[in-house]
Structures are given as structure tokens and as C-alpha cells.
Chains A and B, each alone.
Chain A
Amino acid sequence: QKEVEQNSGPLSVPEGAIASLNCTYSDRGSQSFFWYRQYSGKSPELIMSIYSNGDKEDGRFTAQLNKASQYVSLLIRDSQPSDSATYLCAADFGNEKLTFGTGTRLTIIP
């Protein structure tokens, strides 16, 4: 069964520090990976997509993909209280639909 796994947390990070979120996936053939942010009671919001090995930066967010080790991570620099949310990792296993992890709850401590 194709799966995406995340540590459910909660993960607490001081304001201004770097938050590191990790995700592993089961299918070595996966090509597309996504990070979504979900605030309580709201729907997910796409933050980053990554398709190639290495790093991809967008503002305070950096996604890292290592296909050999089958993991994808999200770094949030200069963490702000507004970053407190659940972060969902998702992968496309080639069946044209996304498989989501269970999400990591992140709390930024002022």
C-alpha cells in the first residue's frame, strides 16, 4: 500500500527559530510532492510543490526532496506565531491523485 508518513507532533518551536517538518513516502517511483498548511477549521492551503531532488526555496519556506532516501522535508525560517497550524505532506504516486500524510501539528511559541 502506498503511504505517506509524518510525525503527528505536536512540534513546538520558539518564535524566530527554524521549524523542521519531515515526511517519508513508500513508493520510490513517486514524482510529485506537496506541502499544505491547514489552520484549525479551515481547508488546506498549498505552500510548496517539489518535483526534483534538492532544495526549493520560497520566501521563508524551503522544501527539500531526497528521492533515494524517500523523504521530503519543509523548513520554515524565522518562525512566526501565524505559522502555527497543521502541515500536511502529500505525494502523487502516479495515479493522478494525492495521498496525504496524517499531518504534523506545529506550534510557534512567542
Chain B
Amino acid sequence: GAVVSQHPSRVICKSGTSVKIECRSLDFQATTMFWYRQFPKQSLMLMATSNEGSKATYEQGVEKDKFLINHASLTLSTLTVTSAHPEDSSFYICSASRGQGGTEAFFGQGTRLTVV
């Protein structure tokens, strides 16, 4: 159990376009989902926390108008990178928590975004 599916695994887009990344919990209801960004040889940087049916909470320094997060249901959250620039190229990873008083989180496969 506790499978999180993230799609797409790789995407290449042109500067100025938008890219949507999906994160689904396949066998449990995720009360909270998290979006991370990871640059090469660095640790995970939390971008935002999303709860179903409410607005996402963004970490300091993360532009909410650029990184749009929608948590439409207990099994689906999406991250849209708007007006992408080459510096947005990174590894984006979602994770989902089952809640129940714990923060044990399970990660999706990650999305390698390259903006050209």
C-alpha cells in the first residue's frame, strides 16, 4: 500500500509556456500533499503544502502565482509551473501523507522539468 503516482516523469518545454504536473495517491486518501524541488546534489526543498479543498501554504520565497497548486480531491494534487524559465528547470517531487496524526510521507516518482 501507500503508492503515490506522479506524471509526467520527464517534460521539456519552451520558455514562457506552462507545465502541469499531477500527483495521485493510488491506494489511500491523502489529507495532505507536499511539493518539493530538488536541484542536483542538493536536498529536497519544500515548496508548498496542500490540503484538499483549501488553498496551498507556500514556503517563504516561493512565488504562489508562478507555482499554482490545486488539491481538488483526496487523491489528486497538481502543480502548474506558469511562464516557465530555464532557471525553473529542476526535479519536482510530490509526496502524500495519510495523516492520522503522523507525517509518514510517500513520494511520487518525480518529474524532471527542462525549460529550453
Chain A residues within CB distance 8 Å of chain B? 32, 34, 36, 41-46, 49, 88, 92, 96-98, 100-103
Q: Say which size band chain B's interface belongs to.
A: 20 to 34
Q: Taking the complex as formed, is B62 at the interface, i.e. its CB lies under 8 A from any CB of chain A?
A: no
* 7 more A-B residue pairs beyond the given contacts A36-B107, A96-B103, with a C-beta to C-beta distance below 8 A: A43-B6, A43-B108, A49-B102, A96-B49, A97-B49, A98-B46, A100-B43
Q: Which secondary structure dominates chain B's binding surface?
A: strand
Chain B window 43-70, contacts with chain A (Cβ cutoff 8 Å), 1 for yes, 0 for no: 1101001000000000000000000000
For A34, the chain B residues whose CB sits under 8 A away are 104-105
Closest 9 CB pairs of A and B: A43-B110, A92-B103, A43-B107, A102-B43, A43-B93, A100-B44, A44-B107, A100-B43, A49-B104
